Every structure is written in structure tokens, then in C-alpha cells.
Structure 1
Amino acid sequence: MNGKWQGSTRIEIAKRLLASAVDSLRGFPNLEIGLRIYGHQSPVTSTYQDCNDTKLEVPFGPDNHDLAKATIKNVKAKGTTPIALSLEAAAGDFPNKDSRNVIILITDGVEACGKDPCKIAMALRAKGINVKPFVIGLGIDLAYIHHFDCIGEFHDVQNEISFKN
């Protein structure tokens, strides 16, 4: 996420766009949002990557838009990409499993920790966990898009305007 893209870093673009998305959700009745982040706590070194680097930073709650935005503003991309573990953990974050629960996964890469996000997504569906992931790819190599088809609805974002749409 620290790589350059569209004149900025991917993480800075992702933060701007996610903050804008959070603002767009204001005013919806009975809506709770939460924020789980991965790859932000432990730096990758030549000998180590923390595949457990995923954390619910803002628990679900009503009217916590400002807290989510403040948290987003301070995120630093440091670590690896544990998508499968993050999906599995995110499914447990929702306070009401019977509600319409949506995950928005923003990534610039594929699973980096040897787990299979497709298997996790299928297992969640098999358990009856009503989760609808939207995967937002920031400058992902088109050769890797098939890695996300099984997770949810994939959107290949080529620039900030296409993200807003």
C-alpha cells in the first residue's frame, strides 16, 4: 500500500476514499459501522511477516463515523496481507449475525500468508453467516483478479474517480 499510484501512495488514496465512503453512510437509520484493519501493526522484514496482523480498531456501533475517520487518518501501511484471516475475523465482528452485514475489503495485493480466502468465504456462507464482501482492488495486476471472484463482488479500481463510482 506504500507503492505509488495515481500521483500518491495507495494507502493515502485508500484512506481518502474510505473516509469519503464513511461520510456517505451518515444519516442511514439503524446502520452500524466498524473498522477492521490488517497489515498496519507489524512491519515486514526480510525474515518475518506477521500473518496475525489484523485488528478490529473500531467496534460496530451507531454514529461512530467520526471515530472511524480518525482511525483511518492515522493508519500506516507496515505489514503483510492476511486476507483470509481478516475475513474470518471480520465475520465474527458483526454484532448481529442475522442482519445484512457487508464487508468492504480494500487491497492492493493478494493473500500473502498461505491461507485460502476462497475457502474462508465458502465456509462462512456454509455456516449461514450472512456476509456480502465487496473487494476493492487498488491497482491490482489483472492476472490476480481471479483470486477475488470467490470472495465477493470485485471492483477493479484504476483511479480515484472509478472508486467513487
Structure 2
Amino acid sequence: MRMRTTALTVAVLLVMLCTLFGAVRPSPASAAPDTARDAPVLMVVDTSGSMGEKGNNGVQRLADAKRSVLSVSQALSDGVTFGVWTYPSGGSCSGGAFVDGVDMRPLDPALRTQMTADVLALRPNGDTPTAPALRAAVDELSKRHYAAATIILVSDGESTCGGDPCAAVKDIVASGLDLTVHTIGFELSGEGRDQLKCIADATGGGYHDAQHGGELIKTTSAITTRGLEVSVRAPAKVIGGGVAPMKVSVRNVSLTETATDVRVTLGFIEHSEMFRRIAPPVVRLGNLLPGKSAEHIWELPVATTENQVEAKYLFMAAS
């Protein structure tokens, strides 16, 4: 009995990544947000007295932090709910407050213009109450009925008052909020670095070092990068008349934005006659929160053939 095979060559796998992110529409004020589409991004910035000092590049640290805030607002898509929180407020050990006019609103060109003036007006003063800042910021998110959120925390020093910030964030996570905190130590080392790393680890985020303003901008740009990553598992060879299982996994590489209405398409670009029934050719995976993945498995009937042939296939993911 002759063995009939069709070669599926992984080496010639073609994958197209499409990074079209739809805008998030704001929910009515009276309704709780759809957290799958409207998980907000909140930038929490240390504006303590030490941020008024010159950094390694000779520029005031707070000036570089302001630039990083504005770069994040430009990188995020229109419609993403964004806020800026600074701490302390009034030069005290308080938990801080939203920057005027940047209190969790969907981004658009008008908001970015307003935000520029408000952010540039920030001044350094006070201690570094990181734990009270995280508690106060999360309280505001809860008041707005968010069940999930991403925070980007920038600080140049260890917490100096208000308790242990790592213990505070563990309490927040235990309360049920789906919170991810990405922390950036701005010219930071020692105890302060350990605190920020603990905060990130406790929430599934990442810790990043930035030794000068240029690295701070580079880091925030990396955190706000958007895209879809596709990985595929398929057999190298299948027998004619059999079934070819093809598994695709799609991951949202963004750490800040939800990929909405993710779709993945399978097609063959050589010897498609061997796989005449791709059902369905397009699969909807729904919304993918930042860093999350979804998968689908096709079980494809394989036609019979007298010869060994090589079939090349294409996966395309889009949002």
C-alpha cells in the first residue's frame, strides 16, 4: 500500500502581523465601563522634591518625566481612556491627585493639547509617598467602576512616608482589581529599586531602569508599543486522506491597550487544492487585553495525491 503524504513546511511559513487598533468608545456616564474594551491607562508620576534636581544628562528629572508623559499620550490610540496622577499634593505626604483636566478621559487631539499645558505646569515638591499614591489612585479608578487598569509608575526614589508600597499593592490586588503596574526607576538604585520591582512583580507588570531622560522616553515607548504576535504549531508532514491539525496562537503584545475584535485568517498560497475545506477561514477571537493570548485549532481534511507536494500557508491576524 502506497503512503501518500503532503508536506507542510514550517520553514516557509508566512505570517502577516496587522496592528490596526479600533478606537474605544466611552461608555455613558451612568454605566460601568466595558472593561474588555475600556481598561484605562493611568500614568502615576513622582513629583517629589528630588525630581527637581538635575539628572545624569544635566536636565531636571521632572522635565524629562513631563516629556515621557506627553510621549505616552501621543503613542496611545485615540479613544483609549488615559489619566495622569502626580504625588504628593501640596508638598505633603498625601497620595496626590489627577493633573487638572487629565482625569481618565478618552484621548483625542483636543485633550492632548490641553494636557500639554497642564503637564508642563507641574512643579517638584514634597516627599515620596508611593503607597498612599497607589491607594488613592486606585480608589479613584474604583469610583469610576473600572475592574481592570494599567498603571505606568515613574519614580526617582524610595518611598519615604505612608507605609510599604509593595504591601499596599498586594492588598489592592487581593481586593479584586485586575491591576497591572509597570514601574520605571528613574536614576534609581538600592531600596527604591527593590520597592518598584516588588510592585511590578506583584501585579504581573515589569520593572525597568532608566538612567537618563532618553532612556525614560525609550522605556515608555516600549511599554506603549502596539501589535499582534502570531505563533503556529502544525505537523511537518501529513498523510493524504488524513487530517492536518493546525493550531494558531495570537498574543496582544501591547502592555497598555486592548486589541479589539481580533480575527485570524488561514489560507494556502501553494497547493491549496490539497486543503479544499477550511472551515471557517476566518475565526474571531474577541478582545485581547494587554499581554493576553487566544488560540484556535483547525482540523483540516487532506486530499489524496500520488506525489509528495509542498503546501505553503498563510496566517494573518488583525484587530
TM-score w.r.t. structure 2 length? 0.46
Q: 1:62 aligns with which of 102, 106, 109?
A: 106
Q: Distance in 2 between the 1:67 and 1:131 partners?
A: 27
1:108·1:140 contact (CA, 8 Å) conserved in 2?
yes
Q: 1:154 aligns with which of 207, 219, 227?
A: 207
- Mark the CA change 1:114 to 1:85 in structure 2 (over 3 Å): closer, same or farther: closer
- Mark the CA change 1:53 to 1:132 in structure 2 (over 3 Å): closer, same or farther: closer
C-alpha displacement of 1:142: 4.2
- Mark the CA change 1:143 to 1:83 in structure 2 (over 3 Å): closer, same or farther: closer
Q: Distance in 1 between the 2:115 and 2:137 partners?
A: 15
Alignment of 1:49-88 (within 5 A): 50-52=92-94, 54-57=96-99, 58-63=102-107, 64-88=111-135
1:107·1:136 contact (CA, 8 Å) conserved in 2?
yes
Counterpart in 2 of 1:132? 180
Q: Distance in 1 between the 2:116 and 2:179 partners?
A: 23
Given residue 35 of structure 1, which amino acid in structure 2 is its aligned partner?
V
1:60·1:93 contact (CA, 8 Å) conserved in 2?
no
* Deviations 1:66-112 (CA, angstroms, capped at 9, x unpaired): 3333221100001111100000011122223224x111111111111
> Percent identical across equivalent pairs?
27
Given residue 39 of structure 1, which amino acid in structure 2 is its aligned partner?
P
* Deviations 1:16-47 (CA, angstroms, capped at 9, x unpaired): 121111111143x4x111111113532xxxxx
Which structure shows the higher helix fraction? 1
Q: 1:90 aligns with which of 132, 137, 141?
A: 137
C-alpha displacement of 1:143: 5.2
Counterpart in 2 of 1:123? 171
Please say which of residues 56-65 and 2-11 is displaced more in the overlay.
56-65
Counterpart in 2 of 1:112? 160
For the residue of structure 2 that corresponds to 1:11, the secondary structure is: helix
Counterpart in 1 of 2:54? 4
Q: 1:34 aligns with which of 83, 92, 95?
A: 83
C-alpha displacement of 1:7: 1.5
Given residue 207 of structure 2, which amino acid in structure 1 is its aligned partner?
F
Q: Distance in 1 between the 2:114 and 2:105 partners?
A: 10
Which structure shows the higher strand fraction? 2
Q: Distance in 2 between the 1:146 and 1:92 partners?
A: 24
- Mark the CA change 1:150 to 1:92 in structure 2 (over 3 Å): closer, same or farther: same
1:40·1:77 contact (CA, 8 Å) conserved in 2?
no
TM-score w.r.t. structure 1 length? 0.85
Counterpart in 1 of 2:65? 14
- Mark the CA change 1:128 to 1:53 in structure 2 (over 3 Å): closer, same or farther: closer
For the residue of structure 1 that corresponds to 2:63, the secondary structure is: helix
Say what the alpha-carbon RMSD is for the aligned residues: 1.8
1:108·1:139 contact (CA, 8 Å) conserved in 2?
yes
Gaps of 5+ in 2: 1-50, 201-205, 220-319
Given residue 4 of structure 1, which amino acid in structure 2 is its aligned partner?
K
